[in-house]
Chain A
Amino acid sequence: VLPNQLVARSFDGYPPEARRIATHHLALLKRLPLGFLPLLLRELIGYDWKFPAERRELDGQFAYLTSLDSEQLVRAMEVFSHLRIAPALEKIDWVNSPSIFTEQLTAHLWSTHQIDAFRAGAVAYISKSSVALPEQRLPAHRLGIAVIGQGVQENQYRLFRKLRPHGEYFTRIKAENGLAVLVDLVAKRAALYPMPYGHWYIDGSTSLPATPEGATSIAYAALSSPRAALQSRMRKIYEASVFDPEAFRTRMARMQPEEIGLDAAGDPVLARFQLSLLTEGSGTQVFATTFVQWAAREAWRRAQPLTVLARFGPRQRENPMNVLLAEAQRPPELDPQGSLIDADMSAYYTWVNQQRLAGADKAGFLVWFEDHQEAVVIAPGFLQGKQSSDSTDLKDLVASIASAK
C-alpha cells in the first residue's frame, strides 16, 4: 500500500481516538511521502494512551501540516520525499505496524548513508511544527529533584561533577527526614497545581516507598511482578537454541500490558507508559538505576510535568544476562557504590532532560546525596559554580528553590 491508496477502512485496526483523527485527516495523510507518514502514524496509533502533553503536540503537528498549502507541504516534505526507500519496505504493513516499518527504515537509512539527511530533515520539521504550536503558560516553574546514593555509608567519588558548574554546591545540608520533606513537597505542589500527570515520583529503592498524594508514582520494586514476567519471557528467548532478534523486537513491540500483569484497567495511560519503559528501554528490566533514569527522562519528554522527584536506589551487581534475568528466583546481590556513580550521572541527565522543556530558564533542580550533607541546586537566585559550606536545612533549601523567581 502506498499513501495515496489509503482509505478510511485502512485504519479499522486503530484504537477509537486514533482512528477518528486518521479518518478526519485522510486527505492530508494521502499526500504525505512514505519516508514520513509511517513515522507520524507510529505516534498516532498510540494516541489513545498518550499523555495530554503528547496529544497536544500531535494535534499541533496535524494543525501545522493542514495549515500548509500544496507548495508549502511539498517543501516541508522535501527531504522525506527524496529518500530512496527499498521496495521491500513498501511491502510492510506500515499502517498497522508503523513501529516495525520505522525500525527497518532506520536500518535502511543507515546502510544507504541517508541517515544524516533524514535526521536533519526530521529536526527541521519538528522545529517548524513546534513553532506553530501556541506556547502554553505553566502554572508554576518546573522542579526536578534527584535523590541518589541510598544505602551508601562512605563515598570517595567526587559527586555532582557535571552539575556543580551549573549551580550552587552545598556541603553542610541538614536533612532529618529528608526524603519525607521532599515527598511532602511534591504532594503540596500536586495539590497547588493539579494537572493530570503533572507531578511524578519515580522510585528505584529496594522497598516500596510512601508515595506523594496526587502525584503519579512508579517504582522499580512495585513493578517486580511485571518485571519477573517479562524477564521470564526474555530468559526463554535467551536460552533458546535459535534466536531471531527481529522477531523478538516485534514481539516486544506488540506486547500488551495485561500480558505481564500491568493494570491496564485502572490507568491505561500509565500502564502503557510502564510497559514502554520495560520493553523499549535498554537495561531497565534488570538495573534499578537505569530504570529510574530512563523513567525520569521519558516522563519529562512525554508527560512534560511540573514536578519530577526521582529517587535512585542500589541496583543489582553486574552479572551475565541469564543471571540478571533470574532476579525473581533469588535475592540479587546489590552494588551500592557503583549505583551511586550511576545515579550521579543519571541525575545530570535528569537535569539535561528537564532543560529541554519550555520554561527552562526559570526551572529549579535539586540533587541530594541521601542521608548525607551534599547537594547541588540549580535555580534562579543560586549562583553557578559557587560552593556553600553554611549549615543549611533541606526544608529551607527547597522552600527557596520553590520561591525563586
Chain B
Amino acid sequence: VRIDAAQSISSSRRAFLRSATGAAAFPLVRDLAGADRPKKTVVVTFGGGARDDETFMPDGQENIPHLLSELIPQATFFSQVVNRGILGHYVATASIVTGVYETFNNFAPVPPDNPTVFEYFRKDLKRPATDCWVVAPSNGFARIGESAHRAYGPGFGAGVILPKRLLSAALAGGDRERYQHLLRDNYETPLYAPPLTGAQLELNRMADVLKLSVDDFAAHARSLASPDEMSVYVARQLMRQLAPSLLWVTLHDIDVAHSGTFSLYIEGIQRCDRLCAELWQAIQKDPEYANRTTMFILPDFGRDSDIDSGGNGFQHHRTGDPMSRTTWMMVLGPGVRQNVVVDRPVESIDLIPTLGSLLGFDAKLSRGKPIAEVA
C-alpha cells in the first residue's frame, strides 16, 4: 500500500510536469559526450518539507512559479525521493549528509555517527577547510559539518555558519529585540534552542572568512524579511569570497507550519521558491561557478497528509505516512539532462554516493547508491 501511495504521488508530479513544462521521461541512454565534469556543487535542502498539495498540485502551483518556469525546464526532476529514516529536520539532514539513516535524538547537540560528505570530499580529494561550507538554520545544526567517526571527524569537516547566531551576536540588545523575526531558532520545538557546540563560525572570524564587517552584516540583515533570506545572503557572500567547491545550504522558513498557520507556511514556500531561483541565477552570473556547477534541490522529507488521522495535515511530519516520507529532487547543471522526469524511486541517502561519483570521492560507508541518471 505504501509503495502504491508513493507511486501515486510520483505519478501526479510527473503528469503535472509533463503538462506544464513539456518534461519528458528520462531516456535509457545518456549522452554526456563533451559535457565537462562539474567542478562545483551546491546543495539546497528545505527543512520543513512542502507537500505536493501546496506545490505541484493545481492549487499549489501558484506558490512555486520560479521552480516551475525557471528551474524545472533546466533540470532532471526525480519525482519519487523516499526518506525511510527519522522525520526530524536535524537527524534527517544528517542522514542525507552521511548517506546513512542516522538514529540519534533529533534535538540532541551531537554530531552524525557516520562520515559526512564533507569529510569524504576533503579527505579523499585533499581539499582545504575553506573549500566546503554549510549554511544552516538553527543551533541544532551546529554539529552537521563533521561526524564522530574515528576514521574521519575532527579536521576533515566543513565550516558551519549559523547566520542567526552571527546576527544575534552582531546586534546590540535593543536591536536584538527588534530583529527577533530573524532569530527564531527552530519551529519543531519552538521553545528549544540547544547549547552550541561544534566548529561553527564565530562572529570574530566573520570578517576574515566572509570579508564582511560586523556592521555591514548587521546592516544588511536588518533589511531582510526572514532567516532563509539571511542564509542565502551568507551563502552568496561565501561564493564571492571563497568560492567553495561544495556548498550546502539548508532553508527552514517553511517549518513555521508547526504553528498551524497555513498562510505563513505558504509564504515560506513562496520565499523558498524565490530564493532557489536567486541562488541559481547567482551561480550563473559568477565566473567561478557559471557552467561548472551542479545544483541539487530537495526537501529533507514531506509533511503529513490531510487524510491520515494520526496527524493534523500540513502542520507536522509525525505520522510517517507516504506523503511525509515521499518528496522530490531536482538537479541542474552542465551534463545534466534538462526538462526530464525520472519516475523510479530513489532514496534521500542516495545523494551522497551520487556526489561522490560526480566529484570523485568514495562515500564508502554510505548505504545509498549513486543515482545513475546524474552520477
Task: Give residues in A with beta carbon < 8 Å to B.
Answer: 107, 110-113, 115-116, 119, 161-162, 234, 237-238, 242-243, 245, 248, 281-284, 286-287, 289-290, 293-294, 297, 315, 318-323, 335, 337-339, 341-342, 344-346, 348-349, 352, 356
CB-CB nearest in chain B for A352: B306
Residue B28 at the chain A interface, CB threshold 8 Å: no
Asked, given contacts A245-B191, A356-B309, whether A318 binds B316 with beta carbons under 8 Å apart, the answer is: no
**Binary per-residue interface labels of chain B (257-293) against chain A in the complex, 1 for a CB within 8 Å, 0 otherwise:** 0111111101000000000000000000000000000
Is A245 touching B192 in the complex (CB atoms < 8 A)?
yes
Asked, given contacts A107-B105, A110-B86, whether A341 binds B262 with beta carbons under 8 Å apart, the answer is: yes
Bound together, the chains give a CA A124 to CA B60 distance in angstroms of 34
Question: Nearest 6 A-B pairs (CB), nearest first?
Answer: A320-B180, A290-B260, A283-B259, A341-B263, A338-B263, A345-B262
Residue B335 at the chain A interface, CB threshold 8 Å: no
CB-CB nearest in chain A for B195: A242
Bound together, the chains give a CA A356 to CA B181 distance in angstroms of 38
Interface of A is mostly: helix
Using Cβ atoms and an 8 Å threshold, which residues of chain A touch B84?
Answer: 113
Using Cβ atoms and an 8 Å threshold, which residues of chain B touch A234?
Answer: 191
Asked, given contacts A234-B191, A237-B191, whether A112 binds B103 with beta carbons under 8 Å apart, the answer is: yes
Is A290 touching B192 in the complex (CB atoms < 8 A)?
no
Q: How far is the CB of B82 from chain A (nearest CB, A)?
A: 12
Asked, given contacts A338-B264, A341-B263, A342-B262, whether A320 binds B306 with beta carbons under 8 Å apart, the answer is: no
Using Cβ atoms and an 8 Å threshold, which residues of chain A touch B101?
Answer: 113
Is A283 touching B258 in the complex (CB atoms < 8 A)?
yes
Interface of B is mostly: loop
Bound together, the chains give a CA A345 to CA B107 distance in angstroms of 30
CB-CB nearest in chain B for A126: B309
Using Cβ atoms and an 8 Å threshold, which residues of chain B touch A356?
Answer: 309
Is B195 touching A320 in the complex (CB atoms < 8 A)?
no
Query: Out of A161, A282, A338, which one reaches B260, CB within 8 Å?
Result: A282
CB-CB nearest in chain B for A315: B261
Is A287 touching B191 in the complex (CB atoms < 8 A)?
no
Is B103 touching A322 in the complex (CB atoms < 8 A)?
no
Asked, given contacts A245-B189, A323-B180, whether A119 binds B310 with beta carbons under 8 Å apart, the answer is: yes
Is B191 touching A282 in the complex (CB atoms < 8 A)?
no
Is A282 touching B180 in the complex (CB atoms < 8 A)?
no
Q: How far is the CB of B31 from chain A (nearest CB, A)?
A: 39
Using Cβ atoms and an 8 Å threshold, which residues of chain A touch B61?
Answer: none
Task: Give residues in B with beta carbon < 8 Å to A.
Answer: 2, 59, 84-87, 101, 103-105, 107, 180-181, 183-184, 189-193, 195, 256, 258-264, 266, 306-307, 309-310, 312-316, 319-320
Q: How far is the CB of A337 from chain B (nearest CB, A)?
A: 8
Q: How far is the CB of B353 from chain A (nearest CB, A)?
A: 20
Is B184 touching A342 in the complex (CB atoms < 8 A)?
no
Is B306 touching A161 in the complex (CB atoms < 8 A)?
no
Using Cβ atoms and an 8 Å threshold, which residues of chain B touch A238?
Answer: 191
Could you list 5 examples of A-B contacts with CB < 8 Å?
A243-B192, A283-B261, A341-B263, A345-B314, A348-B306
Using Cβ atoms and an 8 Å threshold, which residues of chain A touch B193?
Answer: 243
CB-CB nearest in chain A for B179: A320
CB-CB nearest in chain A for B102: A111
Using Cβ atoms and an 8 Å threshold, which residues of chain A touch B313?
Answer: 345, 349, 352
Bound together, the chains give a CA A349 to CA B312 distance in angstroms of 8
Query: Out of B107, B181, B258, B262, which one reaches A320, CB within 8 Å?
Result: B181
Is A119 touching B191 in the complex (CB atoms < 8 A)?
no
CB-CB nearest in chain A for B260: A290
Is A282 touching B266 in the complex (CB atoms < 8 A)?
no
* Residue from A282, A322, A342 whose CB has the most chain B CB atoms within 10 Å: A282
Bound together, the chains give a CA A322 to CA B84 distance in angstroms of 35
CB-CB nearest in chain A for B188: A282
* Residue from A248, A338, A356 whose CB has the most chain B CB atoms within 10 Å: A338
Asked, given contacts A111-B103, A248-B191, whether A342 binds B261 with beta carbons under 8 Å apart, the answer is: yes
* Residue from B2, B260, B319 whose CB has the most chain A CB atoms within 10 Å: B260
CB-CB nearest in chain B for A246: B107
Is B191 touching A243 in the complex (CB atoms < 8 A)?
yes
Q: How far is the CB of B45 from chain A (nearest CB, A)?
A: 20
Using Cβ atoms and an 8 Å threshold, which residues of chain B touch A116?
Answer: 2, 320
Is B312 touching A297 in the complex (CB atoms < 8 A)?
yes
